Every structure is written in structure tokens, then in C-alpha cells.
Amino acid sequence: MKFAVDLAPMGELADPRELVRLAIAAERAGWDGLSTWDVLGTVMDAPAADPFVVLTAIACATERLRLITSVIVLPRRRPQLVAQAAATLDALSGGRFVLGIGAGGDPGDFTGFGEPFDGDRIARLDADAELIDRWLRGEGEHPVGPRPAQTPRPPIWVGGGKPGALRRAARWDGWIGVATTEDYGAMQLTPEDIAERVTAIGAERSRLGRDHAPFDVALFAHSEPGDEAVVASYGRAGVDWWLESLSPARGAVDALLARIEAGPPRG
């Protein structure tokens, strides 16, 4: 299993300099990656930083961390600009980028800016993902962005917990699930729960003829030092990436830094 810190870029963490500081600490402490959200901050009524800008700064300040969006809300972004940003970030980072995508779960991030929060966003997610896939591969009528460092393109992971999201993720390169409580302060889904979802994804990938293609299971999760045995049980259930959820609800920046410096919960 690999380990990333997942930073919600809101409140104190809307300051990109703080996010870069935490990223540098994460690399020094032995974490494998860093993920961050695509939010406008309406849920917490707090400012939020843009994930592509933040990860670009982190790419320039680190050498090894995998850079993950968890997740880009495609229905409120233009797909050609997402493809351009993703290709640019992958080229800049030397192939360290993972494009996590989703339909969005915060109604205020849509309706607060005059956009509908309805079922149509699911169809838009599917259509835009297909376009982005082609553009990142260098296909299509017009070139969009530089060539990514990864071949044929950066991995695309899909976030969500409903059965439809699992089926959607099976078509791509990974799934991002949420195993924590709403405040990210404890685990809510058990290893058995995750194993059931991994099995369902595997069955769908087999049906699609994709069961031999690379696929990653990533999980929003919570741990404290000393939880290594518990964390390992999620690895046995099929989790490839443990995304340690470090949102403002978990504490101030110094508390998040202390958790990062304690290191990943490797067994």
C-alpha cells in the first residue's frame, strides 16, 4: 500500500504557501503522495484554493510525491481546460500526476453560482471524461496542452460511493472512495465493506474486458500513529492508496503538520 496526505484547501489551508509547506514536510516524512480537493468552499463558508494551481506549486517544491486531485468536479469545469491543465501539470512534474474526477457532491458549489445541481451532471461527467481521455492521448481535431510525461496519459481515477460510481470507475484507471465519517475524524467503512466494493468493481472490469489493465483503489481514511495493523487490514481488502484525510475539521495547521511529520501508517 502507498500513502498520501489528503489536504482540504479551505480555511487556513486556502493559503497555498501553507499547502506547499505541508507538502514538503510530507515528502520528508516518507509519504508517497499528496491529494487535494476541487471545492469552492460553500459548504464550510470558507475560501478555497484552486487544486491545479496548488499542485503546480507543490510539483515545483517536491521531487517524489505523487500529485492527485481528489477530485476535479468535471460538470462545473470546461473539459478542454481540465485536459490542458492536467497535461501541463504532468509534464511539469515529470509524470507524477493523477487526475481524479467526479460529479461533485456540494450543491452550493453549483447553485451558489447560478448553475444547476441535477442529474444531468452525471451525463456531463461521462461525456467530458471521454473527451479528456482523447485529448491527453494527443488525439482529437485540435491539440490541447503539451504532451504529458506519462504514456499514454496520466491515470484517471473516479470518485464516488454509489453503485453507479463504482461501475463508472471500473471503466477507468482507479476508484477513490470515502471510508471516513463526515468530519473525517474516524473510519466508518470497515475492511469488509471495502472488500465488497472492490469485488464489485472487479466484476465490472471483468465484464468490460479490463480486468488485466492496471487499476488503483484509493481511500479517504483516518489513522493515528499506532494504527498500522488496522491500516494493513484495509490493504488486504484491496486498498492500494491510503489518503490520510487532513481537513480543517481535524485541527489547525500545526496539528495537521504534526500528523504529517509522524509519518504514514506503514506496517
Between the CA of residue 252 and those of 10, 243, 248, 255, 265, what are the distances in Å? Answer: 11, 19, 6, 5, 21
Contact, 4 vs 242, CB < 8 A?
yes
* Of 157, 152, 161, 189, residue with least CA distance to 171: 157
The count of other CB atoms within 10 Å of the CB of residue 225 is: 11
- Locate the DSSP E strands across 191-255: 216-221, 241-246
For CA atoms 5, 6, 9, 10, give the dihedral sign. Answer: negative
pLDDT score recorded for residue 158 = 98
User: How long a stretch of residues is the chain?
Assistant: 267
pLDDT score recorded for residue 30 = 98
Q: How do residues 137-166 score in pLDDT, each as one tens digit?
A: 999 889 999 999 999 999 999 999 999 999
Contact, 17 vs 9, CB < 8 A?
no
CA 88 to chain centre: 18
pLDDT score recorded for residue 119 = 80
For CA atoms 13, 49, 249, 169, give the dihedral sign. Answer: negative
pLDDT score recorded for residue 267 = 79
Between the CA of residue 21 and those of 91, 172, 254, what are the distances in Å? Answer: 22, 32, 11
What are the structural domain ranges in the chain?
2-261
For domain 2-261, the question of CATH label 3.20.20.30 is answered with yes
* Of 15, 50, 22, residue with least CA distance to 4: 22
Q: Which three cell numbers stand for residue 87?
A: 497535461
Q: How do residues 162-177 score in pLDDT, each as one tens digit?
A: 999 999 999 999 999 9
- Locate the DSSP E strands across 44-107: 66-69, 72-73, 97-102
Q: What string of pLDDT tens digits covers the 267 residues of the chain?
A: 999 999 999 999 999 999 999 999 999 999 999 999 999 988 888 899 999 999 999 999 999 999 999 999 999 999 999 999 999 999 999 999 999 999 999 999 999 999 999 889 999 999 999 999 999 999 988 999 999 999 999 999 999 999 999 999 999 999 999 999 988 889 999 999 999 999 999 999 999 999 999 999 999 999 999 999 999 999 999 999 999 999 888 899 999 999 999 999 997
